[in-house]
Amino acid sequence: MIENLDLKSSSRYRWNRPEEMNNLDISNLMEAYPKLHHVIAKVLVTKKLNSQESLRSYFSSSIEEHLGKMQLRDLDKSAERLIQAVSSREKIRLYGDYDVDGTASVAMMSLFLESLNVDFDFYIPDRYSEGYGISDKGVESAISEGVGLFVSLDCGIRAVDRVNKLMQNGIDVIICDHHEPGTELPPAYAIVNHKQRDCENESKILCGCGVALMLLLKVAELMDLDLEPEPFIELAAIATCADIVPIKAENRAIVAAGLEVISNNPSVGIRALLKNGGFKQGPVRVSDVVFKIAPRINAAGRMHHASLGVKLLTASNEKEAEEIAERIEKLNIARKERDALITTEAREMLYEEDPELENTTTILAKDNWHKGLVGIVASRMMEIAYRPTIILTEVDGLLTGSARSTSSFDLHEALSSCSEHLLKFGGHAAAAGLTLEAKNYQLFKHSFESYAQKVLGKGSKPPELNISLEVNFDDWHNQEYQNFFAQLNRLRPYGPENRQPVFSTPKCIAHKVNIVGSEHLKFSIAQADGNKRDLPVIAFGFAQHYDQMASGREFEMAYTIEENTWKEKRSIQLVAKDFKFT
């Protein structure tokens, strides 16, 4: 039972120690880059970056270099059709999903088309009355309002019948999506989605807004436009951070460039969101996007309508942006209150149904849970029992909900295996949405659990913590520290498949231990047989270790290395991830 582990003697995580490294790889890197810090060289080798070619690609932040090499099926065809619509003054309808990725995609393409002074509008389905993807109402709206070109963003890859209806009514459809296709592709005019089986794109990691960015850039190239890319890169970076896609290759370049824009010259809408999120100073990190910007954009679609998020992201002046951001902030406060209540109910239901957490999955349903919050609650429940989780709410005999998964379990494959019990589903390995008839709930629940047991084995398992490197403090905290820290920061931006390095150090002793805010610890640390200089540590949620640390008990600590900025003064701080007491 993960939640009730005896944390005075047990770790929160299963530690994955680094594999034994090839010393020749380290020597070759040090020889090729004489100024490379030896600890950073080892970290790079653990990331499989052991050649000059792989390093050059990894550290390249040139969007043009990365995106210029990308091959996407139907990209040219889509761009040419969009240019034709612009030239002939056809009415263009942008149709997007209601999450951050879809909202940012619609906002980005709106800004671009607005700069071309063309006839366009956008449509985002209501989360509650229409649901995910291209809706019947959205199709009828396009037909009745004389749309000539319909561009779906971050959705549409499974909308076979609805795309067919649009095409039959003389409306060309371009699908820009990144979700997994079904067995049959929609009969669209063009489909830009790297997940297509016959698409030559190798990395297949872009989010929906990243795919839309590719289309936008191709149109600008073919029209020979002198494009200012910052507003578009900013939005693509936000969507990439929020949509849990790998932060490597082209995504890493997009996020790095976008974070620079947000840090130095954000749009008025993003500036207002950061202000409401309590952001003070310093460079904006991926974590700031994930925890301060994205939840507020999402709150519009969860509690009201996602079009409010589009209006904020396309706002042209500070007054307008601040007014919309204030409305969204109120929605976000209401969202937090409501999701806390649902999480409490889900938690109680979990322990009633599976008190010892013996199942391999968590699947819960209730008829009055807020449809816009089930995804958040699924993530919250993952924190209690680290296992594939599905949270559903019932409306008119249909269960609709969201799924979240662990790193070792592909949700899309799992839902495909149970598809006979589902009306529809979509998503990717880490997150998905699904709808089924309430009468099929128990059949689906049994089928999903059975599949998960075959893949993962029976029962819950604590989450894994991947240790990048085992070091002594003296290895990096010495006269070369500034050089080390500068090189460490070159590994940013962090995210999926480019995780922040987690170090472990043995034989630690804590000094000046204090409980902060009832749940956290703040203390200084040194190695018992090493350099006696104390290093400051913050340990979020580890207050239960106070007695052991204050007593001088020795431990091994897993941690990341950060830097605090306070009143323009910078200082080192270690952020504890876990402890092993000896």
Reported as a single tens digit per residue, the pLDDT across 157-191 is 999 999 999 999 999 999 999 998 988 999 999 99
Q: Domain 2-21+467-581: which topology?
A: OB fold (Dihydrolipoamide Acetyltransferase, E2P) (2.40.50)
pLDDT at 568: 67
Of all residues in the chain, what percent carry a pLDDT higher than 90? 77
pLDDT at 282: 79
Segment 106-133, tens digit of pLDDT: 999 999 999 999 999 999 999 888 888 9
pLDDT at 106: 98
Pairing of strands 389-395, 398-404: antiparallel
Segment 261-291, tens digit of pLDDT: 999 999 999 999 999 998 877 789 999 999 9
pLDDT at 6: 39
Q: What is the mean pLDDT of residues 227-256?
A: 93
Q: What is the mean pLDDT of residues 63-86?
A: 88
- The set of residues, in sequence order, having a beta carbon less than 8 Å from that of 343 and lying 6+ positions away, is 377, 380, 381
pLDDT at 383: 85
For residue 60, what pLDDT band results from cuts at 50, 70 and 90? confident
Residue, of 7 and 473, whose pLDDT is higher: 473
Residue, of 222 and 480, whose pLDDT is higher: 222
Instruction: Calculate the alpha carbon distances from 277 to 257, 274, 285, 293, 546 in Å.
Output: 22, 5, 13, 7, 31
Q: How far is it, in rounded angstroms, from Cα 461 to Cα 96? A: 37
Q: How far is it, in rounded angstroms, from Cα 534 to Cα 524? A: 5
Give counts: helices (H), strands (E), the chain. Answer: 22, 18
Residue, of 93 and 57, whose pLDDT is higher: 93
Q: What is the mean pLDDT of residues 323-327?
A: 97
pLDDT at 4: 37
pLDDT over 60 at 218, yes or no: yes
Residue 163 sits at the vertex; the CA angle it makes with 158 and 167, to the nearest 5 degrees, is: 155
pLDDT over 90 at 201, yes or no: no
pLDDT over 50 at 28, yes or no: yes
For residue 567, what pLDDT band results from cuts at 50, 70 and 90? low
Pairing of strands 149-153, 92-96: parallel
pLDDT at 5: 38
Which segments of the chain belong to CATH 3.10.310.30?
354-460
For residue 241, what is the DSSP state? H
pLDDT at 10: 60
Q: How far is it, in rounded angstroms, from Cα 399 to Cα 540? A: 36
Which segments of the chain belong to CATH 2.40.50.140?
2-21+467-581
Q: What is the mean pLDDT of residues 562-571?
A: 76
User: Class for domain 354-460, per CATH?
Assistant: alpha beta
Q: What is the mean pLDDT of residues 418-433?
A: 90
Of the listed ranges 2-6, 313-317, 375-379, 551-555, the least confidently predicted one is 2-6
pLDDT at 70: 78
pLDDT over 90 at 20, yes or no: no
Residue, of 54 and 120, whose pLDDT is higher: 120
Provide CATH code, domain 65-327. Answer: 3.90.1640.30
Of the listed ranges 298-302, 361-365, 531-535, 573-577, the least confidently predicted one is 531-535
Whole-prediction pTM: 0.88
Which segments of the chain belong to CATH 3.90.1640.30?
65-327
pLDDT over 60 at 8, yes or no: no
Of the listed ranges 32-36, 49-53, 120-124, 565-569, the least confidently predicted one is 565-569
Q: What is the mean pLDDT of residues 359-387?
A: 93
pLDDT over 50 at 2, yes or no: no
Instruction: Calculate the alpha carbon distances from 194 to 73, 180, 203, 214, 432 in Å.
Output: 7, 9, 8, 11, 18
Q: What is the mean pLDDT of residues 525-550?
A: 89
- The set of residues, in sequence order, having a beta carbon less than 8 Å from that of 352 and lying 6+ positions away, is none
